[in-house]
Chains A and B, each alone.
Chain A
């Protein structure tokens, strides 16, 4: 402890750790293969966009008005309608999940259109609730557009007196990829930063090799640095991979500056590494440590960060907890830097939160590790 900080010793430790990492295929699997796999899955595979939904359009009324309405569904990019005349057949298709929804135009549709009270029934398969609601909205929209068209042509219609003109800023085309890909960076940084370090350190504790290091002249700080630097670099490689893929494979707009993004990512990576070091020195058991890490870092990064689910709509208790989770701040930073630009009123408070978390974790880890020496 009395020796001075020695960069040569740290260099040696980093070399040793890097060699160990390169030799173990599982670290490389998490550090390189996993990010690439996730990038490809998220970029190409996962999508919340609902298009070309198979639906059954049951035309019980052969009138021109009803046929025209049915044709409206055929023109829509959201639907792949199957025209039927029997409701029983449509229900069969839905039971077998050949279609996800049924649009039923009642026999007296055209007659009631003039009298008022013409009915269109929309049935959806509700198992996937989110998708079902989107389908419901699209179907209602298709009926609405049809009647607006009729109103514009001077035929009896239901064009609402007030119409909504909507514009989505930052993501005009409404592509879910635009927020899934930046969100992915959070997952990858959490995996490398927290999970991988937890496992590596818990293993050293479990086998007692860390204590062996403690009796050498190497200082605690140097051991911690030597352990974290290679994983820090691995994390930054993951970030670069994600950025390249976002730009060149998936054409996600990048409106902020790379410098700000790099700074924010380094902060988050530091926090993630701190969590990993802290957990592993607290429990010293690989299985338990990995379970805790999954629970406190990975799961929140997916569920409680605002990456998929809106934070404001969560129950109050859960929302309060999210303020303690670093992922929340990183997601806000990523989404803003990618899609909106360098908006300082958003960047500064979030970056400050991450900085203070990183400082706290570094302090705690040093304390924990030193205590064990005594």
Chain B
């Protein structure tokens, strides 16, 4: 038993050396995750802060100017032009010079005073309908605020309904709080999958795997020796992401680190099992890399990272149950933002444990039965 452990450790040491000896591969273990973390943190947000809009003010009254001033002062919208011909609306939208055109009807002020509906027309460039929808939402809020002020200052009584909103776990609804904890799982998945995928394929391609098989190592020991370094690398990378989240973006951590790392451990075993299995199927490094890429895409698309799982059709929602990343992201969110304990994570942990068991034993069986 002790000898087995020593053998595994020796193999682990050799694997770690193989990973870390090349400065470029050392570099590619550290730089891409941190860079991606920063990019996602700053870029991956559906919030808007620079929306170019064009004003088309038919009314040219005090009221319409007041509304436009409100839009300008919101910090989100920037007026790029004042239009005065209908034809220009098309030009500005078509040529992407403005995302929105705000058009105020001629009778705007008169209607406001007489209590008739005064309309503000908004035309949006729907080429990215998500962005356009968000911008229109902001504009609605500005017009609402304008209405309340107008009513108050013109004696039409205060707003009878007051809507108060509150968001749990993410009070300012920052996309970043959603994104960065999710990256703890996503980035480690990409790297561990590639790493384990390549490690066996490289030995196979160079013929050293056969040499490994004739040593006194048992297949399960070879597998443990291949898995352990990847687990270590995975933990280090997860920690790097965690550090960026805490120190750079300062996203408050609500849970316990022990819980998070236990959850991560389960996830890493499942991810590495998949990587090793794939690597034992692939004949060359190139195949291993392409196959792992072929897996990473659906894993990350069906994880709830960029689009919500609940908006997917039922069939795909069931498919996500086979996706280790889905559970990892759930765990990261729940521990990081909600602060739940291990007991509440059991529904996420057991599928990961099952995946790890199945893939790791299949991989070690493949080691024994595939000699090329």
Contacts and interface: CB of A to CB of B under 8 A. Distances in A.
Contact of B285 (A139, A175, A286): A286
Contact of A46 (B159, B175, B284, B301): B301
A250 to B, nearest CB: 13
A147 B198 CA distance: 62
A67 interface: no
Interface string A174-187: 11101100000000
B313 A122 contact: no
Interface in B294-331: 294, 297-298, 301-302, 304, 306-308, 310-313, 316
A47 B297 CA distance: 16
Interface stretch (B2-10, B114-122, B260-268): B114-122
Interface in B78-131: 93-96, 99, 108, 111-112, 115, 117-131
B243 interface: no
A33 B124 CA distance: 36
Nearest to A344: B95
A208 interface: no
A335 B45 CA distance: 20
Contact of A48 (B127, B307, B333, B338): B307
B164 A121 contact: yes
Given A38-B297, A130-B46, A162-B118, A169 B287 contact: no
A190 B112 CA distance: 53
A174 B24 CA distance: 46
A306 B46 CA distance: 11
B158 A116 contact: yes
Nearest to A130: B46
Interface stretch (A3-11, A312-320, A357-365, A366-374): A312-320
A336 interface: yes
Contacts of B162: 117-120
B130 A127 contact: no
A39 B111 CA distance: 50
A157 interface: yes
Interface in A97-141: 100, 112-114, 116-134, 136-137, 139-141
Interface size class of A (residues with CB under 8 A): 35 or more
B39 A161 contact: no
A323 interface: no
Interface stretch (B141-149, B233-241, B350-358, B359-367): B141-149
A167 B289 contact: no
A295 B302 contact: no
Interface string B52-73: 1000000000000001000000
B119 A49 contact: no
B78 to A, nearest CB: 9
Nearest to A180: B307
A240 to B, nearest CB: 20
A79 to B, nearest CB: 13
Contacts of A128: 178, 304, 308
Interface stretch (A24-32, A81-89, A221-229, A263-271): A24-32
B369 interface: no
B209 interface: no
Contacts of B169: 125-127
A125 to B, nearest CB: 5
A26 B295 CA distance: 12
Interface stretch (B28-36, B212-220, B269-277): B28-36
Nearest to A170: B126
Contact of A162 (B35, B67, B284, B306): B67
B140 interface: yes
Contacts of A292: 28
Given A118-B161, A162-B143, A199-B290, A94 B94 contact: no
B128 A174 contact: no
B346 interface: no
B256 interface: no
B173 A132 contact: yes
Nearest to B126: A171
Contact of A346 (B50, B95, B115, B160): B95
B156 interface: yes
A339 interface: yes
Interface string A46-65: 11111101000000000000
Given A41-B302, A158-B160, A127 B143 contact: no
A120 B93 CA distance: 37
A286 B175 CA distance: 34
A242 B43 CA distance: 27
Q: Which of B47, B122, B166, B311 has the most CB of A within 10 A?
A: B311
A285 B51 CA distance: 43
Contacts of B302: 41, 45
Given A165-B120, A309-B43, A310-B128, A294 B159 contact: no
B140 A147 contact: no
B126 A169 contact: yes
A203 B286 contact: yes
A24 B159 contact: no
Given A41-B316, A118-B160, A122-B163, 9 more contacts: A26-B289, A26-B290, A47-B311, A125-B167, A130-B46, A137-B140, A196-B290, A314-B43, A340-B127
18 contacts: A26-B287, A30-B293, A45-B316, A121-B165, A126-B171, A126-B177, A161-B117, A164-B139, A176-B129, A195-B293, A286-B286, A287-B198, A288-B28, A291-B28, A295-B36, A303-B43, A309-B45, A343-B94
